[in-house]
Structure 1
Amino acid sequence: MKIAVLYGGISGEREVSLSSGKGIIQALKQKGHEVIGVDFNPNKLEEILQLKVDLVFIGLHGRYGEDGKLQGLLDMLGIPYVGSGVLASALAMDKSKAKQIFEKNNIPVARSVTYTINQPSDVDVIKNSIKQTFQVPFVIKPNEEGSTLGLSIIENEEEIESAIEKATKSDKNILVEKFVKGREVTVPVLGKPGEERALPIIEIIPKNAFYDYESKYAPGGSEHIVPAAIDNKLTMQIQEYAVLAHQALGCETYSRVDFILGEDNVPIILEVNTLPGMTPTSLFPDSAKSIGISYEDMIQEFVQLSV
């Protein structure tokens, strides 16, 4: 097939996307496809409008790639693509909306409140509301951002204002969420609509205090244990929640669902990643590898599921 791989982009996750794109391009070429690489920029849409390909493989992360906007453009152009459509992409990117859907489907979530900051004077009002609503520790993060960019764990109320400022650099809507201490696990999901399956659960042990940007992408930044050392009953429950979350949002082909296992071993869902990382240190490929699926075969399966 003739496949265009869109990578790079202009979000805060550009560097990660460059690495994902490189891996995807190499894998597709090894599988015999004719590949066109496009370093995507929403200000240069001519490159997309002029594409003459059988399929687009989206290797972008974050805004203008993972949020449904690009998917809408490709839909209007009649170009098929790998991964979730407009609605599922937008919902997964909007953490607040996604959490409402998870709750409706009885998937445990951390207690949270979403605030909107339209002008500087809003900060003091919101800061006071946060103090009255949450007890430390809690998390402040952008509502629509990935790779923990803009995220702060608040252990002292004096940190609230700077954390709000940090989060609003990415999004005027911020999510304040109860901090859940526990083991971080993630579940890749793969398959046709209605036939999705969960791959082995990965436990993530970050070298830093929490699973931040450096832990995710720096070589040796975290240890991945595949499969996670979790008993069979809990493993099945987490995998069921992951598939249910994928389906509830309307995701297609593949996704990766992140959880925290609290002290009571209740899996608290964090988010669904509709375009999870495909870098050399990424989680989805690690899980696939643990059951004998090579990186190249995994990428090819995404293509086959899409066409």
Structure 2
Amino acid sequence: MNKKIAVLLGGTSSEREISIKSGRAVLKSLLKSGFQAYPIDLQSYSIIQLKKETFDKAYIALHGKGGEDGSIQGVLEYLKIPYTGSGIMASSISIDKFRTKLLWKSIDLLTVPDIYITKKNKASLYFSERQKILELGLPILVKPNSQGSSIGITLVSSIEEIDSAIQKAFKYDDNILIEKFIEGKEYTVSILNNQVLPSIRISTKHYFYDYNAKYKSSSTQYFCPSGLNITQEKELKKIVISAWKILGCTGCGRIDVILDQENKFWLLEVNTIPGMTKRSLLPISAQEVGISFDELVLLILETSI
């Protein structure tokens, strides 16, 4: 055993707080399992030092930009240090919601209709893009293109709210997505080493599963088993594994979907470094098939690249 593991956490993204919680939970578990595990906060630590300090592996518990986007993965490959999660290419594509959806569309998977806007073409919004937004129909979701944890997202129900929602999203990213809001039941499906774990149905009193519903609200409920019938569960697994493989993802991750009122599954987004906090969804799915939190951490470590 006695391997030296760097648990990469914190960082500088807007998801820093969640990352620290995930990293601490993973660290505690690795120490319990007998590893020499150390918390490495990349806000104040140069990743190049990992090689000098003879770490055997890196467990990535970073969320968002600078951790989930392929950049850290690239440095770790240069240093020849094995790491958890997806590789450089899959990570960089998966954090980009727009390009992820392009790949999904290429194999005929259902994705929510959207409009992609960059800061460069922001000026044209009041002409051609504005008409396209109206064609989507209200309500719509305005979100940063490369951001997780529902940060910077606004549900827009009237034309008057569009401009402020766009300005808010641009605070977090130079590119944003405006998506048609599909009413239905939200599900998330975890994947571990190409095995699709049981789906979870998310029930929230919020109008959609926003940041507060994810991390603060005590009324948010998670159902696993999700209540889908056998046929639906089978269909969802097929969709999810196709969505996972076309992106080239490896290790573990999570894909969010919504089931509309006509019983169609729509893909929303993928998360290549799922949270590992007490409220996180991957551990809930794993528990349903008899995998404890400590076993899950070890399985993720074993799938390292």
TM-score by length of 2: 0.94
Question: Does the 8 Å contact 2:65/2:147 carry over to 1?
Answer: yes
> Is it true that 1:233 corresponds to 2:248 in the alignment?
no
* Deviates further, 208-217 or 57-66: 208-217
**Cα distance, 1:56–1:104 mapped onto 2, change above 3 Å:** same
Spell out, residue by residue over 1:76-123, the C-alpha distance to the aligned partner (whole angstroms, 9 max, x if none). 111110110110001110000000111112211111121111377455
1:118-197 to structure 2, matched below 5 A, reads 118=120, 121-125=123-127, 128-191=130-193, 196-197=194-195
Q: Distance in 2 between matches of 1:107 and 1:129?
A: 26
Match of 2:120, SS state, is coil
Paired with 2:121 and 2:99, the residues of 1 have a C-alpha distance of: 23
Mapped partners of 1:56, 1:47: distance in 2: 12
- Give 3-state SS (helix, strand or coil) of 1:189's partner: strand
1:217 Cα deviation (Å)? 1.4
Deviations 1:170-191 (A, max 9, x none): 1111111111100000000011
* Contact map agreement 2:48 2:79 (CA 8 A) in 1: no
Match of 2:40 among 31, 38, 41: 38
Paired residues of 2:100 and 2:247 also in contact (CA < 8 A): yes
Specify which of 67, 70, 74 is matched with residue 69 of structure 2.
67
- CA–CA distance in 2 between the matches of 1:111 and 1:45? 39
Q: Is the 8 A contact 1:188 1:287 kept in 2?
A: yes
Unaligned runs of 5+ in 1: none
Give the structure 1 partner of residue 201 of structure 2: 203
What CA distance in whole angstroms lies between the structure 1 residues aligned with 2:45 and 2:134?
Answer: 43
Q: CA RMSD in A?
A: 1.7
The 1:241/1:128 distance shift into structure 2, 3 A limit, reads same
The aligned length equals: 303
TM-score norm. by structure 1 comes to: 0.94
The secondary structure found in structure 1 opposite 2:85 is coil
Cα displacement (A) at 1:48 = 4.2
- Residues 1:288 and 2:286 aligned together: yes
Is 1:9–1:41's contact at 8 Å kept on the other side of the alignment?
A: yes
**Structure 1 stretches of 4+ moved >3 Å:** 42-51, 119-127, 129-133
Give % identity.
36
Partner of 1:263: 261
Distance 2:51 2:125 in 1: 41
